[in-house]
Amino acid sequence: MNEIINAFKKNKLALISLIFILLVIISALFAPYISPYNPDKIDVNAILQPPNPAHMLGTDQLGRDILSRLIYGGRISIEVGFIAVSLSLFIGIFMGAYAGYYGGVTDSILMRFVDIMLTFPSFFLILAISAILKPSIINIMIIIGLTSWMGIARIIRAEFTQNREKDYVLAAKAAGASDSYIMFFEILPNTIAPILVSATLGVAGAILIQASLAFLGIGIMPPTASWGGMLSRGKTYIMVAWWLTLFPGIAILLTVLSFNLIGEAVRNALDPRYSGER
């Protein structure tokens, strides 16, 4: 933990990114209390107003407040990002742990399955599944989680392969510990660095995928506010109402960039191969 704290102290961009993400999370959690307006409230007297004192980021084609919809859209993005990544980590850790620990036939079978999954273009696979299933935020989270675990599985497999013959593992085996205990209570805690990095970068990727799906009209259906959906509907008015696309675009850019910078800082702090380069 001290290494992570020191890394953020040295890396000002990562620290700013962390503060920004915390603000987004806090805004998402307390959206009903800090949002200036109901995000779905239609006001025919405030249609396509540019940023002004009453509506700091302007209004959309239905007179809805952009700032309020950004705050609630952030709630969707953070929820999708964290839950989808939690699911992908759960699957990836189990697949990678069993493949790396047992090796041999188990490793070959599981890794060939991973290779097969990697041959499918992930985004198009997500599009196909999303088109078949009923559009909902739950389905989007599950779909993203089920199609994004392969990378973490390969990372965990490599870590377990390196650690399974180390002294502390052999000592645990000699003490009569079960394979499950050794995998998840002895080896897994020593692979926390790549897990944290993968999780952080995975949240950024999940948010970007969700925004892309919403932009294409898949998943989050109107009138629910989402950043991708706001971009999609705002593109029609881009020549007369620039704020409809600018502010959601900036929100997506800063959030994804911030998670990537945080992941980079965590990797540099916990992985000696990278920290040694600095």
pLDDT digits (tens, 9 = 90+) for 209-264: 888 888 887 777 778 888 998 998 888 898 889 999 999 999 999 999 999 999 88
CATH number at residue 6: 1.10.3720.10
Tell me if 107 is assigned to some domain: yes
Tell me if 15 is assigned to some domain: yes
Cα–Cα distance measured from residue 174 to residue 52, given in angstroms and rounded to the nearest whole number: 71
**Cα atoms found within 13 Å of the Cα of residue 105, Cβ hemisphere only:** 0
Tell me if 48 is assigned to some domain: no
Q: Where are the beta strands (DSSP E) in the chain?
A: none
Range with lowest mean pLDDT among 85-94, 121-130, 140-149, 258-267: 121-130
201 contacts 260 by C-beta, under 8 angstroms: yes
Q: Phi and psi dihedrals of 65, rounded to 5?
A: -70, 125
Tell me if 257 is assigned to some domain: yes
Domain span at 20:
2-35+55-273
Q: For the chain, what is the domain count? A: 1
Tell me if 145 is assigned to some domain: yes
0.75 surpassed by pTM: yes
> What pLDDT score does 1 carry?
62
DSSP states of 13-40 as a string? HHHHHHHHHHHHHHHHHTHHHH-SS-TT
Tell me if 29 is assigned to some domain: yes
Tell me if 88 is assigned to some domain: yes
| DSSP state for residue 217 in the 8-state scheme | T
pLDDT, tens digit, 9 for 90 and up, residues 128-179: 777 777 777 888 888 889 888 999 999 999 999 998 888 899 999 998 889 8
42 contacts 64 by C-beta, under 8 angstroms: yes
Tell me if 43 is assigned to some domain: no
| DSSP state for residue 65 in the 8-state scheme | B
137 contacts 219 by C-beta, under 8 angstroms: yes
Tokens of 46: 């405030």
**Cα atoms found within 13 Å of the Cα of residue 26, Cβ hemisphere only:** 7
